Amino acid sequence: MLYANETLQLELGATVAIETQTDTLYVQRQSQQWRLYKQARPHAQCNLDQALVVSQRIPLPDNLEMVKSWMSGEQESTLRIVPCMADRNLVLNLDKPIVVPAGRRPKFYLALPLMYQLYIGNSKQPFYEFLVERLPFSWFGSNTRRGELCYQFEAEVLQDYEQAAPIPHRAMLELRLCNRDTDHLSIDKINLPAQFLPVYKVDGSRYWTTALTITNEKLTDELSLHYAKSVPCRYDSLQLVSESRLRSEARTILRALEAIIG
């Protein structure tokens, strides 16, 4: 299922510019085709102030690098810009370790970086997808042999989600850590399975994803991950913007301790 978030109608020859932290993307409609150009900004000018600002009816600058073109053989005038979760897991390195005492289950909130997808016409497959923020790659695993390549991101660990201002390129996650072991659980980095999370738009202003519970089972090296069915916050209107990239066969899955918490 696909739910359009931002839908734009472009005339022939019209161009739309979308700002990210590091680049400006130009999408131009031509006769029976669309073209995507990218212009990188110097490091000094890279910031998130203008992130996701969409400018319409602008002239296409000269000397742009064309990334790809879309040729369908039809006159398609619709461009949809849809947020979704990242295509890899997200790793959060905590400045200071969090210690969860034995038998406790604290919850906190994190803002997860989103990817955006561009769809042309009624296509169910995106033409292009991009990260708004520059997320470096990071290896998450017990050694360089076992582990996975993830995006590393920075976020504040919040006790109350109302402390956080809505950010268009982040989705809020409620994370509950349940320590059933008899020892304290110390966490210095955490691997969040972004590909299993959907994106919802709450009250037309803020993105949320479903709550995630990580349980440290008693006397074992295994963690169970439980995905909730809906968002944990209060809302008047809720819209599913994009479904999770991958589906877990059960809402609760088991993974080794070191695969989630470094």
Partner 1 sequence: MELFQQIMQPLQGADGGAWLRALGYLVLGLVLRNIIVSGMRKYVDNHTSPHKAILFRRAISYLVLFVFVLIALSELGFHSGVLLAVAGVLSVAIGFASQASTSNFISGLFLLGEKSFKVGDIVAVQGTRGEVISIDWLAIKIRTFDNLYVRVPNDDLIKGHVTNFSKFSIRRLDVQMWLALETDCAALEKLLNQTIVHEQAFLHQPAPELFRLHVGVLGIQVQYSVWAQQEGFFTSRSKLIDLIVPAMQNAGVVITQTPSVVQGQDNSFRMPYP
| Site residues for partner 1 per CB under 8 A | 43, 46, 91, 93, 134, 136-140, 144-145, 148-149, 152
d(CA 14, CA 69): 15
Q: Are 21 and 132 in contact, with CB atoms under 8 Å apart? A: yes
Q: Where are the beta strands (DSSP E) in the chain?
A: 6-9, 15-19, 23-30, 33-40, 54-56, 65-71, 78-85, 90-100, 107-120, 128-131, 137-140, 148-153, 170-179, 185-192, 199-202, 206-208, 212-216, 222-227, 238-242, 252-256
Q: How far is the CB of 136 from partner 1 (least distance, A)?
A: 5
Of 10 and 86, which has the nearer Cβ to partner 1?
86
Least Å distance between CB 232 and partner 1? Answer: 30
CB nearer to partner 1: give 139 or 184.
139
Q: Which is nearer to partner 1, 3 or 130 (CB)?
A: 130
CB of 70 to partner 1, least distance (A): 24
Phi, psi of 230, rounded to the nearest 5 degrees: -145, 180
Tell the smallest beta-carbon distance from residue 246 to partner 1 (Å).
Answer: 17
Q: Which amino acid is at 31?
A: S
Nearer to partner 1, 183 or 188 (CB): 188
